Chains A and B, each alone.
Chain A
Amino acid sequence: MAALPMKPGKVGVEEATETIHRIRITLSSKNVKNLEKVCADLIRGAKDKRLKVKGPVRMPTKVLRVTTRKSPCGEGTNTWDGFELRVHKRVIDLHSPPEVVKKITSITIEPGVEVEVTIADV
């Protein structure tokens, strides 16, 4: 049938709705071990689905410092407490339809790791 305009192998009833988006996943946490674990899980999950993955880019650690006097009054040698909160951040880029990403991220979540997904245009 020479009049078939369709491409071979594609039954065109539904157009493929899966446009590939560029997705950026940002993981932040106070705890490096959990963070690295979630990173490794995400990348492994993405590689299983044959997506193009740009590996974990490690952003510089932000150290939030609060330095306070130890004393409740002003008396005594001036001793100071230096409290810190270290925020570690990793960025993973994927090229994939967003539904697949939702599935991957919902599997690997640990407490204490914040996952942010932004889509495309970056």
Chain B
Amino acid sequence: MGQKINPLGFRLGITQNHRSYWFAKPKKYSKVFEEDKKIRDCIELYVQKHIKNSSNYGGIARVEIKRKTDLIQVEIYTGFPALLVESRGQGIEQLKLNVQNILSSGDRRLRMTLIEIAKPYGEPNILAEYIALQLESRVAFRRTMKKAIELAKKGNIKGIKIQIAGRLNGAEIARVEWAREGRVPLQTIRARINYCYYAAQTIYGVLGIKVWIFQDEE
């Protein structure tokens, strides 16, 4: 039996855009790449420290980074922008400052924008975070999966599949359970499928959550 390729990577030329879009000559490529990673880590850290607590999740679907010659454009796609914009008028100033401190040379301008997603539970990242939160509060996993599918169906999606692996309900023997609604054609390249993997940390160990959402064809 074969194993499945990551549906995001599979569709990169078609129906899926790169999340980091820039060009660098081979000599500087690794430095720019490292910087990208630092930016994403910084954003993730900020979200973790300030927003995540037992009843809230970060709600960031993806971070897109585009570089022009002297401008770095960071677009944060979020389902709940109100969580990231803390106080009136300040907006994401704090986050922007943090990221600016990380970037080494200051001769490049940084432009950070928050983009709101219309139906947040149509994005697998946000859905996976929701599931993780439920599992960490020891809700039964089958109920969580069903609830997550309900939430996702409110947006217009054509199919969704959720897979949870690990010590489900604290059992001693780990297993894999999945639930599917609609159709998720992983072999069809022109199908727009969004995918996310998220790890939920429970007291029994790590539960791996994989979410595939089939949005539309082409």
Contact = CB atoms under 8 A, between A and B. Distances in A.
B21 interface: yes
Interface residues of B, number: 11
Interface stretch (B65-73, B78-86, B150-158): B65-73
A32 to B, nearest CB: 12
A33 to B, nearest CB: 12
A112 B23 CA distance: 5
Interface residues on A, range: 10 to 19
**Max chain B Cβ within 10 angstroms of own Cβ: one of A29, A30, A64, A112:** A112
A115 interface: yes
A113 interface: yes
A74 B73 CA distance: 41
A109 interface: yes
A114 B29 CA distance: 12
A29 B69 contact: no
Contact of B26 (A64, A109, A112): A64
A114 B73 contact: no
Nearest to A27: B23
A110 B67 CA distance: 9
B24 interface: yes
Interface string A98-122: 0000000000011111110000000
**Which 8 pairs across A and B sit closest by C-beta, in order of nearness?**
A111-B66, A109-B68, A114-B23, A112-B21, A29-B23, A112-B23, A111-B68, A111-B21
Interface of B: 21-26, 66-69, 73
